[in-house]
A and B are shown apart, each in its own frame.
Chain A
Amino acid sequence: MDTLSLDLSLGLRSFDLELSLDVGDETVAIVGPSGAGKTTLLRALAGLARPDRGRIALGDEVWFDDRTNLPPEERDVGFVFQDYALFPHLNVRANVAFGGGNGTVDALLERFGLAALANERPRSLSGGERQRVALARALARGPRLLLLDEPLAALDAHTKSRVRSELRGHLRSAGLPTLLVTHDYDDAAALADRVGVLNEGRLVQLGTSAELIAAPASPFVAEFTGANLLVGWARRTADGLTEVELDSGQLLVSADEAEGRVGAVVHPWDISLARERPADSMQNHVAGTIESVVPVGNRLRVRVGPITAEITERAADSLALREGDRVYASFKATGARLVSL
Chain B
Amino acid sequence: MNVRRAAFSAALTASTAIVIAFLLLPVVAIFVDVPPGQLLDGLRSDAAAEALRVTVKTNVIALALVLLFGTPAAYQLARRRFRGRALVVTLVELPLVLPPAVAGVGLLAAFGTLGLLGGTLDALGVSIAFTQTAVVMAVAFVASPFYIRTAIAAFEAVDPALLDAARTLGAGPGRVFVRVALPLAASGLGAGAALAFARGVGEFGATIMFAGSLRGVTQTLSLAIYELFDVDFDAALAVSALLVVVSGTLLLVAKLLPTWTRSPSTFLSGSVRSTSS
Contacts and interface: CB of A to CB of B under 8 A. Distances in A.
A79 B168 contact: yes
A100 interface: yes
A81 B183 contact: no
Contacts of B167: 46-48, 71-73
Contacts of A85: 159, 161-162, 164-165
Contacts of A73: 167-172
Contacts of B179: 98
Contact of B166 (A77, A82, A98, A138): A98
A43 to B, nearest CB: 8
Contact of B168 (A78, A83, A89, A100): A78
Given A100-B170, A137-B169, A141-B170, A72 B164 contact: yes
Contacts of A43: 164
Interface string B108-144: 0000000000000000000000000000000000000
Given A79-B165, A81-B161, A81-B165, A88 B170 contact: no
B253 interface: no
A81 B184 contact: no
Given A81-B161, A81-B164, A87-B162, A99 B184 contact: no
Nearest to B159: A85
A48 B164 contact: yes
Interface string B155-188: 0000101101111111110000001100110000
A75 B168 CA distance: 8
Interface in A49-91: 71-73, 75, 77-79, 81-83, 85, 87-89
Contacts, number: 60
Q: Which of B159, B170, B179 has the most CB of A within 10 A?
A: B170
Contacts of B166: 87, 98
A25 B269 CA distance: 50
A80 to B, nearest CB: 9
Contacts of B180: 87
Contacts of B164: 43, 46, 48, 72, 79, 81, 85
A77 B161 contact: no
B183 A98 contact: no
B172 A48 contact: no
B161 A83 contact: yes
Tell me which of A83, A99, A137 has the highest count of chain B C-beta atoms within 10 A of its own C-beta: A99
Given A88-B184, A89-B183, A89-B184, A98 B161 contact: no
Nearest to A79: B168
B190 to A, nearest CB: 14
Interface string A151-188: 00000000000000000000000000000000000000
B183 A77 contact: no
B170 A99 contact: yes
Nearest to A46: B168
Contacts of A100: 169-170
B78 to A, nearest CB: 18
Contacts of B168: 46-48, 72-73, 75, 77-79, 138
Contacts of B172: 71, 73
Q: Which of A71, A77, A87 has the most CB of B within 10 A?
A: A87
A26 B167 CA distance: 25
Contacts of B183: 89
Interface string A114-140: 000000000000000000000001101
22 contacts: A43-B164, A46-B164, A47-B167, A72-B168, A73-B167, A78-B168, A79-B164, A79-B168, A81-B161, A85-B165, A87-B162, A87-B165, A87-B180, A87-B184, A88-B184, A89-B184, A98-B169, A98-B179, A99-B171, A137-B169, A138-B168, A141-B169
3 closest residue pairs by CB, A with B: A99-B169, A72-B167, A79-B168
Interface of A: 43, 46-48, 71-73, 75, 77-79, 81-83, 85, 87-89, 98-100, 137-138, 140-141
Given A73-B167, A73-B169, A83-B161, 16 more contacts: A48-B164, A48-B167, A72-B164, A72-B167, A73-B172, A79-B164, A81-B165, A85-B164, A87-B165, A87-B180, A89-B183, A98-B169, A100-B170, A137-B169, A138-B169, A141-B169
